[in-house]
Amino acid sequence: MRPMLLLAFAAGFATPLSAQPETATAGLRTAGAFFAVSVGSLPVTQAWYEQTLGLRVVLRPPAGAGVSVVVLEGGGLMVELIESARSRPAPAVDDPLTRQGLFKVGVIIENYEAFLQRIRDRGIPFAFGPFPGGNGQRANFAVRDPSGTLLQFFAR
């Protein structure tokens, strides 16, 4: 097993920092979702997820072999952030459709309008949208985290 995958697996056996993460009422509320992101700066990206999405740290296993991990939760969303001394930024690509591999993460949220207002109030720039719902499309918008990961949020 690769060292980073092993560390991420081992994170499930570390002692959680809190049993029930707190979430602000304007923070997002989902039916449940998870994703993991390799980041260039764990402190910067962790702060973004805490301030922007209202997530809280629930797990911080001991760092080792140049790899640090933090798991954040809130409103039904769990995000694992991994900083490795061996990671490198992805090549800059203006059009994500020209790049192979995962380029976007999507989450369906229950309190779409309140969460959209939170994003606006915090001055987070939209990568695209917001788009109204209709004709078979859910209302949605997307933002980028500090690592460049595209996060798309959909109304339930």
Question: Is residue 19 situated within a structural domain?
Answer: no
As a whole number of angstroms, the distance between CA 113 and CA 119 comes to: 10
Q: Are residues 32 and 76 in the same domain?
A: yes
The mean pLDDT of 51-69, rounded to a whole number, is 94
Q: Are residues 110 and 56 in the same domain?
A: no
Mean pLDDT of the chain: 82
In the predicted model, is pLDDT for residue 8 greater than 50? no
Interacting residues of 16 by C-beta distance below 8 A, sequence separation 6+: 58, 59
Q: How many domains does the chain have?
A: 2
Question: Is residue 95 situated within a structural domain?
Answer: no
- Collapsing DSSP to helix, strand or coil, 47 comes out as helix
Pairing between strand 150-155 and 104-109? parallel
Question: pLDDT for 118-151, tens place per residue?
Answer: 999 999 999 999 999 999 999 999 999 998 899 9
- Residues 112 and 126 sit within 8 Å (Cβ to Cβ): no
- Domain of 151, CATH number, reads 3.10.180.10
- Domain of 55, CATH number, reads 3.30.720.120
Q: Are residues 57 and 10 in the same domain?
A: yes
Question: Is residue 35 situated within a structural domain?
Answer: yes
Using pLDDT thresholds of 50, 70 and 90, give the confidence band for residue 29: confident
Backbone CA torsion sign across 119, 123, 129, 130:
positive
Question: Is residue 93 situated within a structural domain?
Answer: no
Where in the sequence is the domain holding 114, given as residue range(s)?
Answer: 100-155
Question: pLDDT for 68-95, tens place per residue?
Answer: 999 999 999 999 999 998 888 777 666 6
Max Cα-Cα span within the chain: 50
Q: Are residues 79 and 129 in the same domain?
A: no
